[in-house]
Structure 1
Amino acid sequence: LWNLSTGECVKILRGHTKSIWSIGFSRDGTTLASSSDDKTVRLWNLSTGECVNKLYGHTNGVWSIAFSPDGVTLASGSDDQTVRLWNINTGQCLNTFRGYTNGVWSIAFSPDGTTLASGSEDQTVRLWDVGTGECLDTLRGHTNLIFSVAFSRDGTILVSGSKDQTLRLWDISTGECLNTFHGPKWVLSVAFSPNGEILASGHNDDKVRLWDISTGECFQTLLGHRSLVWSVAFSPDGTIVASGCEDQTVKLWDVDTGDCLSTLQGHRNIIKSVVFSGNGRILASGCEDHTLRLWDVGTGECLNTLRGHTHRLRSVAFSPNGKLIASGSYDKTCKLWDVETGECLKTLHGHTNVVWSVTFSRDGLMLASSSNDGTIKFWDIETGQCIKTLRVPRPYEGMNIAGVTGLTKATMTSLKALGAVD
């Protein structure tokens, strides 16, 4: 955790045992979520740096996490090709969304908490009904894997960033692509400004770009990083953009001038996720050194380091009340952490591959997680149980191949990966 004014690391959160892919603050800023290559999501108390929960369920690294707007649910996306929803209080997996034949890299809740968006290696964005688990729409147009998705504040527009070097704006009600912004390099991360007028994007050419949504023009290119920019986030007041980079630093940028305000140093590997707490006072960073750091925005002091994942972290998210942090990891788990103490409260097991993304529900009772196992899982925060798994039907879903002759072992394995059963 870094203080934005001084650039000082105020806290280092330790617990993950592998790289950290993603982090996220709860809305009230008291909790941080982190996801890791150790297959878990962790929730951290920001005041103490204690891990208050570990979410187990993913069977591969957890790449992304996101809190629901009400802070009750956390979503996590994993390399096990699933997205899971978690109850923040209990740690229970509420649901698992399945159907991808590739990993789910990124997930995001709509502001009202009723819809979940997920972006995948299969080049599609899917919209899910959180209540029923139904896939509402599949948005097609990208020609390569989708690294990042984000909703506008009013929930009417979704932005997706892809390896095809474009950002696409989608109308949620119709599924129509409203605009395509063409960048010179891969779009690794995207974020809307709070007022919905600006997009920030991180790229593999060491740059952060700011886009005017109304015109589609890039009006600011932020220079200073020395490697891939894996994560970008706006401060709640929209005046600062934070970026996490493969050069092991977090940078804070003035949106108006493009100046680098501060460089936060302390991590010892690639930083995959950065996120502001709801009140803007704390910044969390998730790293491939298996740790999350909590930084005091006012002083730059590192408040805590959260440890526990056994592999790289991919995603972190704060619960809406700010008391918990969820993390998703390459270790196939999600973890829930107590922000105040830094204690890992629960580890959520269930995904079978990397957990790419985690996000809380608006009421903070559920966590959603997406994974490279092709599923999205919903977790009950209080119990840590998976309450729902979402998976889109695969090409051979339910086809019985028991007793079929003439198939090689490799063919059988491939058919089962595509939904066949024996």
Structure 2
Amino acid sequence: MSSGDGISGCIFLGEELLATTSFDGQVEVWDVASGFRTAHVNAHSSRITGCDVSPDRKLFATVSLDLNLKLWSAQKSTEVASLMNPSPLNCVNFDLEGQLVAVGCWDGAVRLWNWLEQKNVTTLLGHQSSVRSLSFSPCSSMLCSGCLSGEVWLWSVTAAACVGSYHAHRGSTQSLNFLQGGKLLLSAGHDSVVHVWSGGLGQTVAVLGEEKTPILQKQKHARARHRSEDEANALCVAVAGGYAAVGYHGGGIKMFKFKSGEKVWSSEDLPVSMLCLMWMEAKETELLLSGGMDHNLRVWEKQAENPENLVLVGSFGVQKGPILALAQNSTCVASASDDFTIALWLKDTLTSKPWIDPKVMCILRGHNGGVTCLAFSPDGKELLSGGKDQALMMWKINASPPVLSQSISNCHGDWITGCAWTSSAVLSCSSDCKLRMWDIQTGRLLREILSSSSLTTLCCWVRQLCHVAKTYRSGTCLYLCSF
């Protein structure tokens, strides 16, 4: 059993040794045959975000949000080198000879280090968002990098120049790997798609998992697929005025009558995954706000003459990652992104007629991971946020400019998936199966409820009852718990 606060990564150091990294900066080495831990190192002061092993398996490297690239002896688990970077790090990859190490950074840079000489050989600039994946070609002459926006860049290592780029995924490019001696490149993205590309040209060779069913068989099963489509791909829902708007993976938005379940409208030609929806409180009109995998926010208006029809009013955004959560008070709207930021927008600018592209009021920075949930306090003066960094943060929105008033770190052993306010405390739930209550003033843990499976959403807090969505493989159920 690992003593770390959740496993952030793992890599085989040999046939019998496995190294694991944790969210709290620990490295543990395990003997696979016996199951015993052979080494334990407090390697970093923050979350370890990536690891890789050298081609000869004598060394392994770790990178962290604490800015450090560290190299370790695979046999002794002792530190061999430590290299400080100017930006937090996401990923790491050795070249074929094991002398060069590439790191992907928050600031969009790819930095190449000669670890033996402990110097930065070159810095490759071009990505406009955080670099999430790296892969050297087998001959080490090419380096491939993928970023938060889904782009893939190909670099000549010797020339330190970009030789090509293309958009590979809707959402971040999470993993890259050269195949067949560099002839092919495999990419996996946050959009749940795996692509096979020509190694240097960026041409699609295959999409793994793509159906190759004969046409007649496709027609035969088309109706059955259509029936299950809405259930299988639904990502979020917002209910108001007798209608439910549902966001889908790669399928935009559909609207249903709440009581009968009849579909009355769907967005056309919008192959975008919608991750969050919110009906906005506006005068004289009903507006729906959506946040997408393509980093954009969209405002939709329900037509007065036809309430079963939504019209796109406008699309906007400044954040560089998928929009994961939305919240509102009487004057502003908050959008949370996988780029670790929260954007604040004046509600008046989102509901104005005629439509004018809104300007962001403020960008809140503090999280070290994607921001997954938001909740305004009952008086609307404070905003609560939770993220993939397992931290809860409270922001004073009525201050000018808004400021961070409280931060509670290491709240859970996995991503925070939901947050909410009570009259005197805040709540958080997580994929670690725990629902927790925290003191607003001190950040002290007050209560904890352990569930048998992952908790996905804190819906609301009413009269000492907490409404929580709980996920099972067979579906989702809603249950109540009392503090």
TM-score for the superposition, normalised by structure 1: 0.49
Larger C-alpha radius of gyration, 1 or 2?
2
Greater RCO between the two (CA within 8 Å, min separation 6)? 1
TM-score for the superposition, normalised by structure 2: 0.43
